[in-house]
């Protein structure tokens, strides 16, 4: 895989994400939605089969096989909406493409981003609202790995505080 020259760390909201994927085939929308909502690695998304998916009327439960020494986690709860609905109606392997194709799908829709961006985006959003223990349990990350993301959340908070300070002076 190519090296990334500059990591984009700004937060992406769902409306921006959804508008970017709307024209794609539904399977690719579902793939990118898993990356966006679950913050998993491409390989973790590509390893999914229908046996890893359980659906209720409002929720899609996804049991990811964690990689790179991450501890196993309980199934991830995703909203049963938009392209994620597609997951509930599949049999067998969910995505028939390789890791390189997964990478190319991300780059074709988001040329300035890198696939791991969605992991950064989701972990920092969860850290901003919940505890470190929650992040450990959702993503299976070690405390040492989480410190990188904590720094990103703190940087974002400082940026928001600077904006608020300027607004107070106006």
β-sheet bridge partners, residue 62:
53, 76
Using CA atoms, how far apart are residues 19 and 111, in angstroms rounded to an integer?
A: 15
Domains present along the chain, CATH in parentheses: 14-169 (1.10.443.10)
What pLDDT sits at residue 107?
Answer: 94
Q: What is the pLDDT along the chain (170 residues), one digit of tens a residue?
A: 445 455 556 788 999 999 999 999 999 999 999 999 999 999 999 999 999 999 999 999 999 998 776 778 889 999 999 999 999 999 999 999 999 999 999 999 999 888 788 998 899 889 889 999 998 889 888 888 888 777 766 666 677 777 788 887 76
What pLDDT sits at residue 39?
Answer: 93
What pLDDT sits at residue 162?
Answer: 79
What is this structure's pTM?
Answer: 0.84
Q: How many CB atoms are closer than 10 A to CB 89? A: 9
Maximum CA pair distance of the chain?
Answer: 59
What pLDDT sits at residue 30?
Answer: 98
Helix (H, G, I), strand (E, B) or coil at 60: strand
What pLDDT sits at residue 124?
Answer: 87
β-sheet bridge partners, residue 78:
60
What pLDDT sits at residue 90?
Answer: 97
What pLDDT sits at residue 1?
Answer: 43
For the chain, the straight-line distance linking the first and the last C-alpha, in angstroms and rounded, comes to 47
């Amino acid at each position: 895989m190519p090296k990334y020259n500059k990591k984009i760390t700004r937060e992406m909201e769902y409306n921006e994400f959804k508008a970017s994927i709307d024209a794609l085939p539904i399977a690719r929308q579902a793939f990118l939605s898993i990356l966006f909502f679950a913050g998993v690695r491409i390989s973790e998304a590509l390893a999914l089969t229908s046996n890893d998916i359980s659906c209720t009327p409002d929720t899609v439960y996804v049991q990811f096989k964690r990689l790179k020494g991450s501890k196993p986690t309980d199934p991830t709860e995703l909203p049963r909406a938009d392209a994620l609905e597609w997951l509930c109606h599949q049999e067998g392997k969910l995505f028939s493409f390789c890791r390189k194709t997964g990478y190319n799908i991300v780059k074709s829709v988001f040329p300035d981003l890198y696939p791991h961006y969605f992991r950064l985006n989701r972990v920092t959003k969860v850290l901003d609202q919940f505890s470190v223990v929650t992040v450990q349990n959702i993503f299976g990350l070690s405390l040492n790995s989480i410190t990188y993301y904590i720094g990103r959340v703190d940087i974002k908070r400082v940026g928001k505080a600077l904006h608020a300070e300027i607004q107070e002076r106006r």
